[in-house]
Every structure is written in C-alpha cells, then in structure tokens.
C-alpha cells in the first residue's frame, strides 16, 4: 500500500467513523491500539488522530454567527420567524430572580445560551445542541449567587475548557489590577484630603 493510499484510508469522514463505531463495525482506535500495538511495517489504526481528538470532546463546540455574512434575505426570514415581543421584561435583579427558571430571556446579557460581541455584532451560541429551556443553568447571576465554584464547573456551565476559563480569569484579574489605584495613589489622595480639611 502506498503512502497516498494509506492517507486516504486514514482520513475517514467523522460521521462514517462514529456510525461504524456505534454499530460495532469498527473498534474504537484506543481499543485497537491496546489489543495490537503497532510494529514497524504495520499500518496505523483506520481512524486519524484528528477524528480521535474530536471524539474525546463530550459536547459540541459553540457556534458563531457573523452578522456581516448574513444576507438580506436571511435577515428578513429571521425577522419574520422571530418577531419582536412586547412582553414586559424584568427591570432589576430582584424582579429577575423571582422569574421562572430556566430563564426565557435569551437576549439578556447575563443569559448563558448566547453571547453577542459588542464590537462586531456576531452571535455565539454556546450550546448549539440544546434549546434554552433544556439547559441546567441559564443565568450567570444565579451561578454567581451560589458562591465559588471550580474552573471545571464553570467550564461545564459555559461550554468552555478549564484552561480557557483560567485564561479569562487571569485577564479579568489583570484588568481589575490595572484599573484600580495603587496604594501610593491612595495614600496621596488621603494626604490631599487631610491638607484640604486643615
């Protein structure tokens, strides 16, 4: 078998591989490798490394819809399918916390179903495989009220990896540090207030 033929065999479509594994036509790559370790001259497993990585992920990745790429017809159809509603929305956290859960207000900036980028207007659907009413947690403020949780739990709630949550946390803490006054600036402000009062 030539090098090109082997590459074509390794690049099976992910759906074909999932279907074959589900129907037990093909053994999962990890089991195949465990049963018969690859030796020099033998062919690698029928599933590529990319497909194996994709299978590790237990939930679908988020999906982004770029507003710039939508055609006028798509925007028109979307407006017809989902007309604006005139139901009064909660105005404060006190009113919102008394509302039914899961939260029906997907357009709220604290809702976990989707995120809107304020600069580009693109919409990121965090859970493309779920509907908003199927989610366990829908409001970021409800999660914050519960208290401290682990990076793994935050990742599950937001459909992100633990590492990405850690990166966002570090960036947020750095922004807070940069925007808060230093102790020297606080001391100078206190001295100025004392001088003014004298």
Report domain extents, the chain. Answer: 3-56, 60-84+101-145, 161-198
pTM, two decimals, is: 0.57
Task: Answer whether residue 167 shows pLDDT above 90.
Answer: yes
SS3 122: coil
Structure tokens at 196: 């003014």
Bridge-partner residues for 123, per DSSP? 65, 116
Report pLDDT for 164.
92
Using alpha carbons, list the distances in angstroms from residue 52 to 37, 58, 63, 173: 17, 12, 21, 35
What order of strands is seen across the sheet that includes strand 63-65?
63-65, 123-125, 114-116
Q: What is the pLDDT of residues 23-64, one digit of tens each?
A: 444 444 444 444 444 556 666 666 776 666 665 567 788 899
Residue (of 10, 47, 9, 14) closest to 28 by Cα position: 47
Q: What is the pLDDT of residues 5-19, one digit of tens each?
A: 443 444 344 444 444
| Sign of the dihedral through C-alpha 54, 60, 20, 17 | negative
Q: Under a CB-based contact definition with an 8 Å cutoff, are residues 34 and 68 in contact?
A: no
C-alpha torsion angle, residues 75, 131, 137, 118 (rounded to 10): -10
């Amino acid at each position: 078998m030539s090098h090109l033929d082997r590459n074509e065999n390794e690049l099976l479509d992910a759906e074909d591989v999932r279907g074959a594994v589900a129907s037990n036509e093909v053994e999962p790559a990890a089991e195949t490798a465990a049963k018969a370790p690859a030796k020099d001259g033998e062919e690698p497993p029928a599933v590529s490394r990319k497909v194996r990585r994709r299978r590790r992920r237990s939930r679908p990745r988020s999906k982004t819809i770029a507003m710039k790429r939508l055609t006028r017809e798509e925007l028109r159809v979307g407006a017809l399918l989902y007309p604006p509603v005139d139901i009064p929305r909660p105005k404060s956290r006190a009113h919102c916390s008394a509302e039914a859960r899961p939260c029906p207000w997907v357009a709220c900036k604290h809702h976990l179903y989707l995120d809107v980028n304020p600069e580009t207007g693109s919409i990121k659907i965090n859970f493309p495989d779920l509907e908003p009413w199927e989610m366990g947690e829908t409001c970021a403020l409800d999660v914050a009220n519960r208290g401290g949780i682990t990076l793994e739990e935050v990742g599950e709630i937001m459909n992100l990896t633990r590492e990405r949550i850690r990166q966002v946390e570090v960036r947020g803490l750095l922004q807070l540090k940069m925007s808060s006054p230093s102790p020297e600036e606080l001391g100078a402000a206190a001295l100025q207030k004392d001088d003014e009062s004298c």
